[in-house]
Amino acid sequence: MSEASMLKLPTDNLYKFMAIFGLVLTVTGLYLDVQMGRESNEALISVMVEDARVSDTMLAQSKKGLDLVQQLKAHNPNTPEGARAQTELLNEMKSLNAHWEHLRRKAPYITAKRRYDHISAEYSTLAFRIPLLLIGGIFLSGLGFWLWYVRVQKFLDKGLSEPKATDETDA
């Protein structure tokens, strides 16, 4: 592979380097902003989905509990059959209550919530750095291009236009 075919970065002056480095900072800032927003949205969606799933299960358990209360009221505790039926319903309500407590401490929801909280904290620490990176990149790039044009390119253009004028007068 020859040197001519390789991509060469401008190293001839500091102004071009400033301009290109500013562009790199700007692109990096934009990428970080988009990436952090995407991660935050994904974490929020996972929390919302898990919360909806747990809420649906808890709602079903609540409806089942209400049905058990209605059945409990329907039986007369003064009769032996009613007392036995109420005892069975109470035992079922105890197991339902244990399941309810398990749902309240649901591990996937807690894990998803912690992930969201972690990403939110990470995003909040970068929230002021990303705009600084963008502003710094735009400023550095603009300054580099402006200085390159004012201090270098104007004179190069002037130097290229003068030889043409002298060549035409000689002919």
Q: Structure pTM?
A: 0.55
54 domain-assigned: yes
Contact 138, 27 (CB under 8 A): no
Tell me whether residue 64 is in a domain.
yes
Q: For residue 68, which of 41, 40, 45, 97 has the smallest C-alpha distance?
A: 97
Question: Kind and range of the H or E element at 86?
Answer: helix 80-104
Assigned domain for 68 exists: yes
- Please give the C-alpha separations between residue 71 and each of 10, 65, 80, 96, in angstroms, as whole numbers: 84, 10, 16, 15
**Is residue 9, in this structure, part of any structural domain at all?**
no
pLDDT at 25: 93
- The total of structural domains in the chain comes to 1
The average pLDDT across 134-155 equals 90
pLDDT level of residue 27 (50, 70, 90 thresholds)? very high
Evaluate whether residue 5 is within a structural domain. Answer: no
In tens, the pLDDT along 74-101 reads 777 778 888 888 888 888 888 877 777 7
Cite the beta strand spans of the chain per DSSP E. none
Report yes or no on 107 lying in a domain.
yes
pLDDT for 167: 52
Residue of 149, 144, 101 whose CA lies nearest to 14: 144
Say how many CA atoms lie within 13 Å of 39 toward its Cβ.
16
Give the relative orientation of helices 14-74 and 80-104 as an angle to the nearest 10 degrees. Answer: 170
In a domain, 7, yes or no: no
The pLDDT of residue 42 is above 90: no
CA 18 to chain centre: 30
- 36 within some domain: yes
Q: Which residue has the tokens 């401008």?
A: 10
pLDDT at residue 132 tops 70: yes
Query: Containing domain of residue 114, as a range?
Result: 14-159
